[in-house]
Every structure is written in structure tokens, then in C-alpha cells.
Amino acid sequence: MARVDVCPQNWTKVIEASEKLGCGDDDYGNNQYLCLPHVNKTSLVEFCYEGIMGRQEKGFCLQASEGKLIHTNCVGFSSGCPETPYITSDFYKYSACQELNLDHHCYKFDPHCPPKNDVETNDTPTTISILVVCLGLAIVFIALFCILLFCRQKLRQLCYGNNRRNETQHILSPDRTDDENMPLDPQETGKKGQKKTEQRFSQDETGLGDVLSQDENMLPLDPKKTGMKGQNESEHLLSQDGTGLSDVLSQDKNMLPLDPQKTGMKGQNESKQLLSQDGTGLSDVLSQDENMLPLDPQKTGMKGQNESEQLLSQDGTGLGDVLSQDENMLPLDPKKTGMKGQNESEHLLSQDGTGLGDVLSQDENMLPLDPKKTGMKGQNESKQLLSQDGTGLSDVLSQDENMLPLDPQKTGMKGQNESEQLLSQDGTGLGDVLSQDENMLPLDPKKTGMKGQNESEHLLSQDGTGLGDVLSQDENMLPLDPKKTGMKGQNESEHLLSQDGTGLGDVLSQDENMLPLDPKKTGMKGQNESEHLLSQDGTGLGDVLSQDENMLPLDPKKTGMKGQNESEHLLSQDGTGLSDVLSQDKNMLPLDPQKTGMKGQNESEQLLSQDGTAGLSDVLSQEKSMLPLDPKKTEYIKLLTWNLPLMHIV
């Protein structure tokens, strides 16, 4: 006997089931297939009956037990009980005898058999009640959790704001007078503004560059000590070029927001920290505050915004830097910031992928840059990193707490530290490699991505593209071997100043006994009359700095420059808007364009000359006895300039 769920309800179904089981007919031709309830009323079973399909009495149903037929009275059924005698093979006609309540093991049409859904009905209210209670508790728990979380966040913000205010009150000296906390006088400093506390933020008159001070007790910038646009009175340095294409950094935890009416800045951050920049869309906005709210692009004119707490945004030009100086700064997410770089651990050094920006390391224990993560090819040998590109679009900054002011007499460079710090650059062919330490170990090209290495202990090498600079400031430096360094030039004696013929790099000589460059060997545009040389590329993208104590401010009427400082500080610009001439000395004489045929040259001892590219780049001389350039000696510049298209064609 086989269990089934439903018995056949018509003769056609009976024949189909009979054929499946292979049932035959009895001696009288009656089909022997039967589908009956089991005697225990636990299921329906089908089987082939082996006996005669005889006549059954009315008022009785049939049950099966081990192949035998059992009669059970159904007179009390509500309906469906056989009312006339019937043949056994016609049992399929009486469905009331086949429908069972399997839960209670009784016939459904038996009045004493409870309905099938009684069990479900008895359990359903309990189940529903449990579900309702659980759901209600879950809703209450979630609501309480949200309320607690909201209150905790509010308390944290309140505590954080109180701490910030307390720190600000602690930093501000109570002995300081109101006059000392007042904004800077533009007539005295040539700057547009200063905040009312001890932090300084100034701006030149041209609106093209920013100077930031991050020292808690920062005094106004002293150009005599730094030769840069800005450095604090004691230990911290931040400088900026005047092109409006570089970075604005604010690292003071308690920095109040800038007042755009005082500083001439267009943007202001959402809370207390400053992140603003000119409206050219070519600079960077940096936030180092852990709880910095995202910048409002409508206020700052910047394209980027941070995802949560830290901000690192970049314009789409690839011309600026993004620096993060927060010790606990998480790595940048390139998807969020549009930047290619990420820091090694807790300190961030990131850079765009254009090879036009700077990489700055301000941490004393900064790990070397990972070029795979930062997109930069350079790495510092020890602790401090200072790098500079060769496009004239950015500055060299030193932000180490113990960093001495740059000594222009030793380097003639925009930046050099007193002892152990390294200046390196990426290997795109657009930057410089500087070594200023007397005992500087050679760079490891595997670590820095640089192609060259020095002859002994001092490094002056550059990638093989011929677009970068080679600087030597060591008295005993051996000449570079062009076969080893891929450079095109070699120095006359012990000191090297060479340059490729593209006119895109710099040649600097800071040695007192430096012989004049041989243009045949170096492919340089100019040559100095006597001892000191400072020249600049002809791309119109670089800066000219004059830091001599006796330099007077430039006269825009004589030089065709756009700007001049109010008193002691000079920030000027040529008429093309592509390069800068900076003079920060008190007694700088105005340039005389009639002597050089250029836009600028000084009247007597100080030199500011220009290449033959129509006033697009600058040449600096800081020697007191420096004579003006002799155009007869530098005439080949024009030939070189005229031949540049041919060189590109070749």
C-alpha cells in the first residue's frame, strides 16, 4: 500500500491510477484498484485489492488494514455517507468517506471531529502576540539608541568647542595690548590684512600670492631673515610665490576664520580653521583640522570638498600641491580627493601626477615617500624633505620646528637648510635636485627614481630628459660625468653649473671662485661677467628673487612691472602676467630697460636681466659688485630661441 494525498474523484482518474499500479479485474470484470483511508485515519492509501469487489451495505465507509477491508459506520456524518448499497469498485464516488482530518485522525464530515484549523487557530493568537511584543521592543530600543547617539554627538561637539575656546584664550596673551592685536596697517606692511589675535595672515597688494604664518605667537613676517615672502620671527617658515598658482597652508589649530574684508581673500571656512584661496581655480585648499567641516564651494570657489573630517581638494589643472600636516591624518582616498598620492602611515605627502608641484615633509620622523603611493619619484635620505619643481610655479618650504632660516649667501637658492636637510624632486624632467649638505650621501636611484648619481659623496644628477637642473654647492665637488648623469654640460673646473639646451631649467653658481660658464659646453643662455651667476629659464613661468640689503623697490614706470610694495616689501609682475620679480630689500634700485633691452635691469651694481623671449623669464644676481650682463656675450640666446621650433620638429 502506498500513501497518497488525494484519492481519484472520477472513473478516468481511477483507471489512470490503476494502470500506474498495474491493477487488474476480478472474476466479474470489476477493477481491483482501491483508494481508502488507513484504519488509523493517519493517511490515504492506494493498492490493488486481491479479492472479489463485492457489494457493500449502505451507511458504511471502508478502511484499509494490511490489504484487508474494514467497515466503519458513517450514519452520523453531516453528509456524504452512502445511502444505498454500492459495489466496492464504486467507492471513489463517496468523497466523505475519503476526506480525513489528519491532525485529529478523524473524518472531516464526522460531527465529533474538530475542524482542521482548530490547532492553527489556537496557536495563531499566541504567535501574533509574541511578534507584536518583539516588534514593539525592537522599535523602542532603536529609538533609544538613536537618541543616545544624538546626545553623545552634541556633547562631543560642545566639549570640542569649549576646548577650542579655552586653547584660544590660553594662547592669547592677557598682557598684550589692544594695539598689538589690531590688524596690520597696510601702509606699514604693504599687506592687506591681519587677524586681531596673535596669528598672522597677510597678502600682497597684487592679490596674486599668500603668506601664511602658523606659529602660535607669530610676529609679522621679517623678510630680512628669510629672503622669502614669509617666515616667522623664530622657527617656522612658510613662503609663497606671487603667481597665485601655489598653495595656501593653515596649520594653526586655533586659527580664527579670515575676514575677507581685511585679507582680500574670497573664501572662508565653515568654522574656525582657514582654507581660502584666490578665485583663479588654480590653487589648493588644505585643511588639517580633525573636525574640519567640508568647504562650501560657493564660498571658496574651489572645486573640491572632503568626504568627512579631513579636507584635501585640488583644482582640475594639476598645477598645485595638496599638503596635509596633521599627525593623525588618514591616507587620502584618490576617489574622494581626485589626488593620486597617499601617505605611508600617519603623515601625508601627496602630489598631483603632473610633475609640476612640490612634495613637502614637515615631520621629524617622516618615513620616505613611497613612489607607488604618492606618484612622486623622490625620497629623502634622512629626516627633512625639501623639493622644488623647475617650472617656477611653486616654492621651497621648510617647516621643521628646529629649522634655521635659509641662508641665501650659502645657497643663492630659494631654500636651503643649515645642515642635514635634503632637497629632491620628481623625475619628470621638470624639477631640481639640490644637495646642500657638505657630507650629503648620494641618492639611491632605486629609492628616488632618479637616473643619475654623483661621483663621490655629493649628488648632482637629473633624469635623462634634459629638462632639469644640476646644482653644486660643495667647494670640492668633482665635475659631473655626462655619461653617468645624462646631463649635457660639465663645469670648467671643480664646480659644476651645466644645463641642457632646451632653455627650461636653471643654472646656479654660488661659489666665490666660480669661472664663467662656457656656453659651448653648457648650452646656457647667459654668462656672468665675473664671479656669480643666477639665470632662469625662458618659459616665463619662474620667479626672480632679489634679497640684497641695498635693493630699492622696483619702479613700475621704468620696468613695465605691474606691482610695487608700499614700503619695504616688493612684489611685482611683468606686463605679460607670466613671471614675477621679487625684491625684498630696502634699497633696491629700479631696473633700467634702456640698458638691457629687457623689461628690467638695475641701474648700477645689482643685476636683473632677461632672456630674449620677450620678457618671459628673469635672471637674478645678488652680488654687490655684479656688473650687468653683456648682451654681446649672450647673443646666442636669440639664436637658441629662434632654433627652438626646429629642435621640436627634429
pLDDT of the residue at 611? 44
In a domain, 65, yes or no: yes
State the cell numbers at 425. Answer: 624632486
Q: Count Cβ atoms below 10 Å from residue 42 Cβ, excluding itself.
A: 12
Strand-pair partners of 44: 4, 37
Total domains present in the chain: 2
More confident residue, 395 or 83: 83
**Widest pairwise Cα distance in the chain:** 143
For 20, 28, 46, 50, 66, the CA distances from 24, given in Å and listed in that order, are 11, 11, 14, 9, 19
- Domain assignment of residue 40, yes or no: yes
Q: How far is the C-alpha of 298 from the C-alpha of 608, rounded, in Å?
A: 41
- Annotate 588-622 with DSSP letters as a single string: PPPB-HHHHSSS--BSSS--EE--TTTS---EE--
Instruction: Note whether 316 and 349 are within 8 A (CB).
Output: no
Q: Are strands 580-583 and 543-546 parallel, antiparallel or unpaired?
A: parallel
Mean pLDDT of 542-570: 36
pLDDT at 444 (0 to 100): 46
Residue 551 in domain: yes
Residue 216 pLDDT greater than 60, yes or no = no
Residue 47 falls inside a structural domain: yes
Q: Would the pTM of this model clear 0.75, i.e. be above it?
A: no
pLDDT digits (tens, 9 = 90+) for 98-137: 999 999 999 999 999 988 655 444 456 778 889 999 999 9
pLDDT class for 278, splitting at 50, 70, 90?
very low
- Grouping H, G, I as helix, E, B as strand and the rest as coil, residue 206 is coil
C-alpha cell at 223: 623678510
Please indicate, yes or no, if residue 263 is contained in any of the structural domains: no
Of 101, 116, 131, the position where a domain reaches its end is 116
Q: What are the E-state strand segments in 392-527?
A: 422-423, 508-509
Q: How many CB atoms lie within 10 A of CB 282?
A: 18
| Polymer length in residues for the chain | 650
Q: Is the pLDDT of residue 285 over 90?
A: no
The predicted-structure confidence for 601-636, as pLDDT tens digits, reads as follows: 333 323 343 343 333 233 333 333 333 444 554 443
Task: Tell me what the pLDDT averaged over the chain comes to.
Answer: 50
Copy the grid coordinates of residue 253.
Answer: 589649530
Taking residues 296-319, what's their average pLDDT? Answer: 36
Last residue of some domain: 116, 140, 167? 116
135: amino acid identity, one letter = L
Question: Angle at the Cα of 448 (from 443 to 454), degrees rounded to 5?
Answer: 30
Residue 461 lies in a domain: no
197-213: average pLDDT: 36
- Distance, in Å, from the CA atom of 340 to the CA atom of 347, rounded to the nearest integer, reads 15
- Structure confidence at residue 452 (pLDDT): 40
* Average pLDDT value for residue range 525-533: 32
Last residue of a domain, one of 68, 84, 116: 116
Any domain includes 462 = no
Low-confidence winner among 264-268, 503-507, 564-568 (lowest mean pLDDT): 564-568
Cα–Cα nearest to 320, from 380, 379, 240? 240
Residue 159's pLDDT band, with cuts at 50, 70 and 90, is: confident
Long-range CB pairs of 90-96 (<8 Å, 24+ gap) are 91/34, 91/35, 91/36, 91/56, 91/62, 92/7, 92/8, 92/9, 92/10, 92/11, 92/13, 92/14, 92/35, 94/61, 95/9, 96/61
- Cell 598684550 locates to 176
CB 352 within 8 A of CB 332: no
Q: What pLDDT is stored for residue 632 in this prediction? A: 55
Task: Dump pLDDT digits (tens) for 457-469.
Answer: 233 333 433 323 3
- Residues 128 and 209: their CA atoms lie apart, in Å, by 72
As given in the structure block, the three cell numbers for residue 28 are 466479474
C-alpha–C-alpha distance, residues 283 and 271, integer Å: 21
Question: For 90, how many CA atoms within 13 A lie in the half-sphere containing its CB?
Answer: 10
Q: Is the pLDDT confidence value at 6 over 60?
A: yes
pLDDT tens for residues 130-148? 999 999 999 999 999 999 9
Q: Which residues pair with 34 in a beta bridge?
A: 47
**What residues make up the domain containing 642?**
525-650
> What is the number of other CB atoms lying within 10 angstroms of the CB of residue 549?
12
pLDDT tens for 13-62 read 999 999 999 999 998 999 999 999 999 999 999 999 999 999 999 999 99
State mean pLDDT over 530-555.
33
Residue 568 neighbours by CB under 8 Å, 6+ apart: 190, 223, 553, 584, 586
Asked if residue 447 belongs to a domain, the reply is: no
- 213, 218, 219, 220 alpha-carbon torsion, rounded to 10°: 10
Question: What are the phi and psi torsion angles at 313 (to 5°)?
Answer: -120, 160
Q: If you ran DSSP here, which 8-state letter would residue 427 be given?
A: S
Strands 572-573 and 68-73: unpaired
Highest mean predicted confidence (pLDDT) among 10-14, 202-206, 279-283, 434-438: 10-14
Judge whether 565 and 588 are in contact, CB under 8 Å.
no
Instruction: Give residue 235's pLDDT.
Output: 32
